[in-house]
Amino acid sequence: MKITRPTLIVDEKKAAENIERMKRKISLSGNVRFRPHFKTHQSSRIGELFRGAGVTKITVSSVTMAAYFAGHGWNDITVAVLVNPLEIETINELLAREINLGLLVDSAEMTAFLEEKLEYPVNLWIKIDTGYRRTGIEWDREEEILRTAAAIKNSPKSLFRGLLTHSGHSYHASSTAEISEVYEETVIRMNAVRDFLSEKGFEGLEISIGDTPTCSVVDRFDGVDEVRPGNFVYYDVMQTALGACKEENIAAAAACPVIGRYPGRNELVIYGGAVHLSKEFITDRNGQRVFGLVALPDSSCATWGGSIKNTYVAALSQEHGIIKTTDTFIRGVKVGDILAVLPAHSCLTANLLRERG
């Protein structure tokens, strides 16, 4: 592969191993359904790795993404973001293609809107907030949850599938023990909601959860019916810092040309900035922001070696990345070389380079 500008490179062997590892672990929990989130890779080619592993049901983060994957043969799709009423025409177009589509609501009002505007039946999930504080009905707001459930039950166009949450606050944990605690708290709260609705006559509801840190750390998924991790297909530096994976599990990197070399300050400048990598970072033990680790790609840029010691992306502007390194490493690098940047957050890097790479 000839690389002349920032380009996403994927080690498909590692990605396939990540998929198989997660699938195998989920299978140990009996009938728990594996519905991976495709927002990280957004790629029909990577989708085929999942299909090869026996995956038939997927999650996406937009109606546009749902249409893309429906066009590549996926017909059981959950859009794991609250319904945007301005996209109702696109939603109806998707349903007209006989897609088994799942949508999220968190109010009786949106349920009523869908009842009025939908042209075909749809699966509905109530989005529950178990602590992330982004979207969804807070898990202990029973009356609001009940009103929404009743609206779905009374809607001929809606099949009430269950309760769905995303424990995004697991990304703020400081240890794998804390990640496990987030998972346990999430399951307890989701089952409390399900038990409450069961007492009110809503039987057979499922629980759907999904975030890579908890799904990577916990061993079993008892108490839920479906898990939806996404970032695990590539992993990233953030996940290694959380303890969700090892560096050798990272399956995506940004191949970036070196455009500046400054031995006097042990810095390299790459063509690869915030518009390619995003401005996500981790903070290392010295308090330094790390926007990515640096490795050497192989001759074909199909994979890369381990990260270079004491070498990392320390700053980003729009198109430039500044790499802090050592005098030993910088002596072996020249302008025009390609370096592999292991991203802080692969979801954003993959999305940005999918458009620009």
pTM of the full structure: 0.95
Q: What is the pLDDT, as a whole number, of residue 94?
A: 95
Instruction: Work out the number of other CB atoms within 10 angstroms of the CB of residue 28.
Output: 10
Residues of the chain with CATH 2.40.37.20: 247-356
Quick: pLDDT tens for 219-262.
Answer: 999 999 999 999 999 999 999 999 999 999 999 999 999 999 99
Quick: pLDDT tens for 187-200.
Answer: 999 999 999 999 99
DSSP reduced 3-state for 175: coil
Quick: pLDDT tens for 293-318.
Answer: 999 999 999 999 999 999 999 999 99
Which pLDDT band, with edges at 50, 70 and 90, does 354 fall under?
confident
Instruction: Work out the number of other CB atoms within 10 angstroms of the CB of residue 320.
Output: 17
The single residue listed with the structure tokens 């990345």 is: 321
Distance CA 277, CA 352 (A): 7
User: Which one-letter DSSP state was computed for residue 222?
Assistant: T
Share of the chain above pLDDT 70, in %: 99
Residues of the chain with CATH 3.20.20.10: 31-233
Contacts by 330-334 with C-beta closer than 8 Å and gap 24+? Answer: 330/261, 330/263, 330/266, 330/267, 330/268, 331/263, 333/258, 333/261, 333/268, 334/258, 334/261
Distance CA 319, CA 195 (A): 52
Tell me the pLDDT of the chain averaged across its residues. Answer: 96
- Residues 275-304, mean pLDDT to the nearest whole number: 96
Q: What is the pLDDT, as a whole number, of residue 174?
A: 87
Quick: pLDDT tens for 71-120.
Answer: 999 999 999 999 999 999 999 999 999 999 999 999 999 999 999 999 99
Distance CA 11, CA 254 (A): 11
Q: What is the pLDDT, as a whole number, of residue 355?
A: 55
Closest among 299, 287, 286, 278 to 346, alpha carbons compared? 278
Quick: pLDDT tens for 36-81.
Answer: 999 999 999 999 999 999 999 999 999 999 999 999 999 999 999 9
- 247-356 folds as Lyase, Ornithine Decarboxylase; Chain A, domain 1 (2.40.37)
**Level-2 CATH architecture, domain 31-233:** Alpha-Beta Barrel (3.20)
Phi/psi for 295 (5° steps) reads -135, 170
